[in-house]
Every structure is written in structure tokens, then in C-alpha cells.
Chains A and B, each alone.
Chain A
Amino acid sequence: MTRRAALFALALAALTAPAVTVRAEPPKTPAALPTRNAVVALEGKQAVLSVPFRDVVDGEIEKKLSSGLPTVIVLRAWVFRDGGTEPVALTAKTCRVVYDLWDEVFRLQITQPGGLVDTVAVNIEGVLRQCAEARKLRLIERSQLDDNGRYFVAGLVEVNPISQETQDRIKRWVTRPNGSAAIGPGDSLFGSFVGLFVARIGDADRKLAFRTQVFAPPNPPPPEKKP
């Protein structure tokens, strides 16, 4: 694919995506993130990633998962060259979880490269297994990795990420509850305290960032020798 075609594809995706756009900025210092072990293997022509991130689900998130209202867990993973700060590839997995009160199952909608899958889990353990782990998640075509290069993956997991637009809307609700919160000039000598207790709205209910160990591009197993 030419650069122009790639840019066109990117622009088209941005244009066709609805207004709610989740930010996908890579971490600024990926190498400094806490390390966790991951498995990078070859699946066909793709390098794939397997890594657990179950710790993103704490007691509070577990309560949300069982609330009967939707909870979304998003993993974004960037591939970096060892020592580099610019990503060479990005992949993602999202999992939307809703507990069905009457069928008493968790309904899951998992989206990742390769397609969208609707499935169910009968308990939290099932949810964690399917939504809080990456299993052979497609990273990048093997051919795009330098045979002599060393790479690592930086991952960002968010629970219920909020788009910038929604954040702005929510902040307006919170900070201007009755359409009356005025801002004073605040120019007195030693300062001016303005406004009520203003809660800060986070861009997700919970976040988790990590990096993997450095790995060499996976190679196919050597052909078996004929006796």
C-alpha cells in the first residue's frame, strides 16, 4: 500500500467514525512503564501477542461489571523498537460487558483485529478470561518487523474510556449545574478563590499501563528434517 493510500485509509476511517473518538496517543515514555511478561508468537503471517491484564479489574470495577449496565474494557497496544519512542504499529481489543439480570449471564461483545464476536460468560472468571487477557492478539505483519531488530509492546488498558467530547459535555454538567456558575475576575492581590467544589472528571474509570519484555521478531519453526 502506498503512503498516499494509507493516509487516505486513515482519513476515511476518521471521517466515517462517529463523533465519539477515543484518543489513541501512544505513551510518551513507553520504556519506563512497569514490565510484565508477554508471549509474542507467529500465527500465519502475523506476530501475535498474549498478555494478561486482569489486575485492571479491582473490586470497584467488578461491582460495575455486575451492575447490569454496560462496562467497556479497552486494550491498546503499541509496538516500539527497543530504545525508540515512536511506535511502529498499533493494535487494540475492546470488550463490552453487560450482565443480563434475568438470564444471569454476562453478555460480551469482543472486537479485535479479525472481527467482532458476541459471546457469554457465566461468571466473573469467564469475563476476566475473555476480556482481561489478550490471547493471540494480532500485532503486526511479521514482514514489517526487522529480522535483526528488537521490539517491545506498550499497553494501555482503560475501563469505560470517555471520549473528549463526552468529557467536555460531562464537565459542563458538573461545573455549571444550574447554568449559573460565574467566574469572577480573580485579580485581587493575594488571589481570589472562585467557584464551588469542582470535581475533576477522569477520562476512564480505571487505567493500567504496562510494557512487555523486549523480544526478537518471532520466526517460523524450522522445517522438519527428513530422515
Chain B
Amino acid sequence: MIGARSLVWPAALAVVAIPALASAADPPSPSTTASPPEAPQRARLRYTLEGIELRGNVRTAGRVVLRYVKFRAGDLLDVDDPELELTRYRLLGTGFFAQVDLSLRKGSRRGAAVLIIEVVERNTLVVQNLWAGVAADEDTAGNARPLSAFLGVQAAETNLAGTGITLGAGVALAADQFALRTSFVDPSFVGTGWSAAITVLYNDARDFFGNRDVLFEAPLIAQREVTDYAVVAYRRFGATIGTGHDLGVSSSFALDYHLEQIDATVPVAASHMRGLSREPVDFSIRPGRSVLSTVRGTLTYDTRDAPFLTARGTHAQASVTVGIPGTDYSFQKFEGTLRRWWRLPWRHVVRFDAYVGAIAGDAPFFEQFYVGDFTDLLPDRLLALAPDRRQPPNLLGTDIIEVRYGDFAAKIEGEYRIPLYTGRESVYGVDLFASAGIYSVATRREFTNPPTGYRGWSRLPVDVTGNLGLRLDTKLGGVTIAFSNVLGLVAARNGARK
């Protein structure tokens, strides 16, 4: 601790040590453009901007670079204008360049200057997501079945032919199902501040319904022979067009329209034990061909200091999805997410998460809340495929075990992170993390007609979840090595579930 006697020094120097401030607070100095400065001791300079010269952009079109530069020829350029530094980082933020340097050179007449923007281009073919894992299976009595692998990858060229347009593709493979995605994003559509995006999807998939003692009459012979679940085989083919706009440095708005055709093969009849009662299985999808048409609006507020190993900031999102009335699926889906990070004085990080979602109307099951997306002990969906057939672990012994897809969902979670390594080369950081949370996924029937056989608190479809592992921030992106799925597999090996 600095002694009390010498505290006056740092106090006085707190201002001294802030170089930019002394000049920023100064009134504008006389320009050197027309005549020598009246006050030569002032270091603040202004020039008439004669032009902008680009160097090093071999693949990237000049108009794409200039899109991120607010200055134009004829402007009065103050060398202290923070916009100069922001321009540099805005160009780095495109992801097109490894290095961006700004400088000035003399113009053709006294007082004029040319802004030179020198860039070093980088590889813009990137891997956005990679999933690789093992999905466990169990029969409806909780006995283990053979494991099956799943794999998914999404990649994108973020500067297609130097135009600044992103072209992406994704594929996901799991047992007897696959999904394809292609996306096209123009971050500045026809030079405006609005983005434009098109995504095309194709899923040839199946999903698994029924809790226990499932009886069903499937139209496909194969399903009768090999499954203990009522299987819905379905194909989805459609597209999403959307636009987005930054409302400020920290907030943005997005609007999407989605249209797809669904071709589903649904068991002609199916029942299962829900609680102690035998009930028909609700598949939440129309048999045969149907059309899903939705509009989605999303507001995002994002002040995170880093996207992966976030140490402070807030990420909040609110969205509304409306299934267009008159089509096969008329529903409204509301979602709200709040995530907040704090860095503690001893450099550890605490995160708080809250999520709430609700659906009114008849949404297809893949638009509903999937229990595996809320518990860490089951794999998340990848490109809308749910490879894992198991029910949630049910650590609290509630009727959450009766739910796979729900109309309502909520989750509260906390995470504690301990930085283990910080670097500047290939690996930027390694953090050990532990998280714990409580979540709930419920259908409307949990409120109107709860499953029989549950009493008291066990009628609340809630469960706890947790995770432990390492988060690595690398040159290639963020990597999470989590142990929760291993624990999930162990749980599946235990035989009869709660």
C-alpha cells in the first residue's frame, strides 16, 4: 500500500498520466492549413482532407473498405478526432484484415492532407461452429442402448470475392438424420446501414416421442422393429430472409421472415404412460405436408468486452416469433435472455444468466423449447437436430421427466470462472469454469392437467443442471471442453431412471 504521506503524488499524477485528456480538453487550436499556427506550442493539428488512399487491399474492393470510413474529401480533419482510431478498429472488426494502419501525407497544397489506409488482408474462410459428440440412447425403461455419434460443422467465407459478403454452409449428421444450411449475409445491403441475409435449410430428420410403455402404430415398417419410441420422420425445406440494423454501439435490431415446407410421417396412433395414466402422444406436427410461415423480430443489447471469455458486460436479447395466422402453424413465441458478467477484484469472473420463454398457439415441436437445450447433461440441438433420445436426468425427482418439448421454459444459472492462462499467440486464454442452475420446461398441460402420480413440489417440472470444464479462447475461436456430457452418459448407464 502506498503510504499516506505519498498519496498526494499519485493523486496529482492521476491527471498527469492521462495524456489524451490534456489535449482533448483543449479548445480547438488554430489550423495550420492557411498559415503557420498562431500558437506554435499547441500540438493539435487540422488539415483539409484531400482524399483517401488505400494500400494493401488486393482482394477486398475499395468501396468495401471505404464503407467503414466516415471521412470524405473536403472534410476538415482534426488529427485528434477519435473517429480516426475508431475507423481503424472498425476495419479490423470486419474480420477482413490482420492489420490496419492509418497515416497522413501532404496534400497538393498547403494545409491539405491525404489519409492513407494501409491494410494487410487475412484468411476469411472461417469455421463458425463445430460439434462432435456421442449421443446416448436408452429404452423407455431407462436401460442403456448403444451410443451413436453426431457431428456438425458450419463454415463461412466472410469476404466473398472481396465484396464483404458472407457465404456460409453447414452440415450436421446424426444417426439416421442430417441437416444442411446455406447462408448469405451482406452486412451493408446496397451500401446502407442495414444488413441482408438469406438462409436456406434442409433437414431430413426424426424425433422421438413417448415417455414409458409407448404403444404406437407406425406407417414405416422399420420404425416398428427398431424403436421403443414413437418416431416422427420429417423433412424440412425452406428459407429465411432477414435484415438487421445497429441502433447504436451496443444495440441492434433484426427482422426475419421464414417460410418452409414440412413433410412429416407421424404414427397413425400412439400412446404412452404419462405419470400413472396412459395418454395419447402429442406430436405437435401435422402429418403429411404442411407449411410453416413465421416473422421474427429481435432486439439485442450487447456490451460484452469479449465474445467468448467475457469478463464484464451485459448481453440481453428479446425476441418475438409469430406464426402467420392462416398457415398451418399459428402461434406466438416470446423469449427473453439476460446475461451479465462481472470481474471480481481477484480477476475471477462471475456470470449470471436468466432466460424465459413462452409459446401461445400451436407451434411445431422443433419451434418449441427442447429440454436438452436447458440441461447441460444432454447435448444441445445442432442445426435443429436432436440426436439424443434420452429424457432429462431428473435430479430433483420431479415430473420434468415427462417433458421433452415444452411451451414454457425458464432457466437461472450462475457461473464462476478462474483464469488459468492468458496469452497473445495461438491461445489467448484458458479458464476453468463451474456452473450451476435450475431450469423448467413445461407444456400447457403441466398447468391444466398435470401428470398423475406426482405430489407436492414434484409436480413442478424443474431440475438442476451444472457443468464443469475448460473454456479456451484461441486464434481459431472459442472452445469449450465440458465434462457435463460425460456425466450425462454415466447417468444413462444407470438403468432405471427416477
How long is the Cα–Cα vector from A120 to B126 in the complex, in angstroms? 47
How long is the Cα–Cα vector from A58 to B1 in the complex, in angstroms? 34
How long is the Cα–Cα vector from A63 to B95 in the complex, in angstroms? 24
Q: Say which residue of B33, B132, B478 sits within 8 Å of A186 (CB atoms).
A: B478
Q: Which residues of B contact A199 (CB under 8 A)?
A: 92, 98
**A 184-225 contacts with B by CB, 8 A:** 184-202
**A 54-110 contacts with B by CB, 8 A:** 63, 66-70, 72, 74, 76, 86-98, 100-103, 107-109
Chain A minimum-CB-distance residue to B339: A183
Least CB distance, A71 to chain B, in whole angstroms: 10
| A32 touches B (CB below 8 Å) | no
Chain B minimum-CB-distance residue to A111: B16
Q: Chain B, 223-245, contact with A by CB distance < 8 Å: what is the 0/1 string? A: 00000000000000000000010
Q: Chain A, 147-172, contact with B by CB distance < 8 Å: what is the 0/1 string? A: 00000000000000000000111111
How long is the Cα–Cα vector from A155 to B92 in the complex, in angstroms? 31
CB pair A172 B249 closer than 8 Å? yes
Q: Chain A, 1-43, contact with B by CB distance < 8 Å: what is the 0/1 string? A: 1110011011011101110111010000000000000000000
Q: Contacts A9-B7, A102-B111, A197-B477 known; A72 to B2 CB distance under 8 Å? A: no
Q: Which residues of B contact A87 (CB under 8 A)?
A: 2
Q: Which residues of B contact A102 (CB under 8 A)?
A: 32-33, 106, 110-111
| B89 touches A (CB below 8 Å) | yes
Q: Contacts A102-B32, A197-B475 known; A70 to B485 CB distance under 8 Å? A: no
| B482 touches A (CB below 8 Å) | yes
Q: Say which residue of B17, B43, B252, B480 sits within 8 Å of A109 (CB atoms).
A: B43
Q: Which residues of A contact B313 (CB under 8 A)?
A: 168
Chain B minimum-CB-distance residue to A170: B89
Least CB distance, B9 to chain A, in whole angstroms: 5
Q: Contacts A20-B21, A172-B250, A189-B134 known; A3 to B380 CB distance under 8 Å? A: no
B7, B126, B486 interface centre (most CB from chain A within 10 Å): B7
Least CB distance, B230 to chain A, in whole angstroms: 26
Q: Which residues of B contact A16 (CB under 8 A)?
A: 15
CB pair A70 B133 closer than 8 Å? no
CB pair B4 A3 closer than 8 Å? yes
How long is the Cα–Cα vector from A22 to B122 in the complex, in angstroms? 31
Chain B minimum-CB-distance residue to A10: B11
**B 417-473 contacts with A by CB, 8 A:** 424, 428, 467, 471, 473
Least CB distance, B102 to chain A, in whole angstroms: 6
Least CB distance, B76 to chain A, in whole angstroms: 15
How long is the Cα–Cα vector from A171 to B428 in the complex, in angstroms? 14
Q: Chain B, 265-304, contact with A by CB distance < 8 Å: what is the 0/1 string? A: 0000000000000000000000000000000000010111
| B25 touches A (CB below 8 Å) | yes
Chain B minimum-CB-distance residue to A190: B132
Least CB distance, B201 to chain A, in whole angstroms: 16
CB pair A188 B17 closer than 8 Å? no
Q: Which residues of B contact A111 (CB under 8 A)?
A: 16, 19, 22
Least CB distance, B8 to chain A, in whole angstroms: 5
Q: Chain B, 42-71, contact with A by CB distance < 8 Å: what is the 0/1 string? A: 111101000000000000000000000000
Q: Say which residue of A13, A90, A168 sits within 8 Å of B312 (CB atoms).
A: A168
Interface size, chain B (Cβ < 8 Å): 112
Q: Chain B, 31-42, contact with A by CB distance < 8 Å: what is the 0/1 string? A: 011001100111
| B350 touches A (CB below 8 Å) | no
Least CB distance, A106 to chain B, in whole angstroms: 9
Q: Say which residue of B17, B90, B133, B306 sits within 8 Å of A76 (CB atoms).
A: B17
| B182 touches A (CB below 8 Å) | no
| A50 touches B (CB below 8 Å) | no
Q: Chain A, 95-134, contact with B by CB distance < 8 Å: what is the 0/1 string? A: 1111011110001110111001011100000000000000
B21, B84, B376 interface centre (most CB from chain A within 10 Å): B21
CB pair A174 B6 closer than 8 Å? no
| B79 touches A (CB below 8 Å) | yes
Least CB distance, A222 to chain B, in whole angstroms: 27
CB pair B93 A197 closer than 8 Å? no
Please tell me the size bucket of the interface on A. 35 or more
| A176 touches B (CB below 8 Å) | yes
CB pair A169 B106 closer than 8 Å? no
Q: Which residues of A contact B75 (CB under 8 A)?
A: none
CB pair A67 B104 closer than 8 Å? yes
CB pair B477 A196 closer than 8 Å? yes
CB pair B22 A177 closer than 8 Å? no
CB pair B129 A86 closer than 8 Å? no
Least CB distance, A188 to chain B, in whole angstroms: 4
CB pair B41 A174 closer than 8 Å? no
Q: Which residues of B contact A9 (CB under 8 A)?
A: 7-8, 11-12
| B379 touches A (CB below 8 Å) | yes
| B130 touches A (CB below 8 Å) | yes
CB pair A1 B8 closer than 8 Å? yes
CB pair B187 A178 closer than 8 Å? yes
CB pair A109 B10 closer than 8 Å? no
Least CB distance, A74 to chain B, in whole angstroms: 6
CB pair B105 A101 closer than 8 Å? yes
Q: Contacts A183-B308, A191-B480 known; A17 to B14 CB distance under 8 Å? A: yes
Q: Say which residue of B19, B122, B254, B380 sits within 8 Å of A96 (CB atoms).
A: B19
How long is the Cα–Cα vector from A20 to B313 in the complex, in angstroms? 17
A9, A185, A192 interface centre (most CB from chain B within 10 Å): A192
Q: Say which residue of A69, A120, A187 sits within 8 Å of B104 (CB atoms).
A: A69
Chain A minimum-CB-distance residue to B126: A196
How long is the Cα–Cα vector from A95 to B84 in the complex, in angstroms? 20
Q: Which residues of A contact B148 (CB under 8 A)?
A: none
**B 81-121 contacts with A by CB, 8 A:** 84, 86, 89-90, 92-95, 98, 101-106, 110-111, 113
Q: Contacts A6-B4, A172-B305, A192-B131 known; A101 to B104 CB distance under 8 Å? A: yes
Least CB distance, B157 to chain A, in whole angstroms: 11
Q: Which residues of A contact B126 (CB under 8 A)?
A: 196-197
How long is the Cα–Cα vector from A9 to B2 in the complex, in angstroms? 14
Q: Which residues of A contact B478 (CB under 8 A)?
A: 183, 186, 192-195, 198
| B476 touches A (CB below 8 Å) | yes
Q: Which residues of A contact B47 (CB under 8 A)?
A: 101
CB pair A101 B95 closer than 8 Å? no
- 8 pairs of A and B residues whose beta carbons are closest in the complex: A68-B104, A118-B41, A189-B133, A179-B252, A67-B103, A6-B7, A186-B480, A94-B19
Besides A172-B304, A173-B249, 12 more A-B contacts (Cβ < 8 Å) are A13-B14, A21-B18, A86-B1, A107-B42, A119-B41, A175-B307, A178-B185, A180-B244, A193-B130, A194-B478, A196-B156, A199-B92
